[in-house]
């Protein structure tokens, strides 16, 4: 992932919009490309079957959100002004239903790697 893309992603977190449609080259299209690419970087090739990445574009006034869902971790990136939302699975609660945890937006300037995913998983 290019440093410029990481910087664009961090800057997008505080952008109030409007965002338009999720078309390639457009503001929301670029957010989708970079955010889903960052999430793909968290998952190693061996684990891709266990993790699903999706993008919900929602309306033109918002950024939409990129989401990674897996057995141990749920991660969501949107331009909500807060940062990276993630949830960790526990012995009794699935990741998707666990409580919200937050990393500041500048956390997204880290290169996404499976090792970074392990840190998020705890």
Partners of 53 in beta bridges: 68
pLDDT in tens, 51-89: 999 999 888 888 889 999 999 899 999 887 777 899 999
Rounded to the nearest integer, the mean pLDDT of the chain is 86
What sign for the dihedral angle of Cα 104, 42, 36, 93?
Answer: negative
89-98: pLDDT as tens digits = 999 999 999 9
- In the chain, the domains with their CATH numbers are 3-117 (3.30.540)
List of residues 6+ apart from 83 with CB closer than 8 A: 13, 102, 103, 104, 105, 107, 108
Residue 101's beta-bridge partner residues?
A: 86
């Amino acid at each position: 992932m290019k440093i410029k893309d990481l910087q664009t992603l961090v800057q997008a977190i505080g952008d109030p919009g409007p965002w338009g449609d999720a078309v390639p080259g457009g503001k929301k299209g670029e957010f989708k490309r970079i955010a889903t690419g960052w999430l793909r970087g968290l998952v190693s090739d061996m684990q891709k079957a266990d993790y699903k990445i999706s993008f919900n574009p929602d309306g033109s006034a918002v950024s939409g959100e990129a989401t990674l869902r897996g057995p141990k971790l749920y991660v969501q990136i949107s331009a909500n002004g807060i940062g990276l939302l993630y949830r960790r699975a526990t012995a009794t609660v699935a990741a998707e239903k666990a409580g919200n945890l937050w990393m500041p937006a500048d956390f997204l300037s880290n290169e996404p790697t499976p090792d970074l995913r392990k840190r998020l998983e705890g």
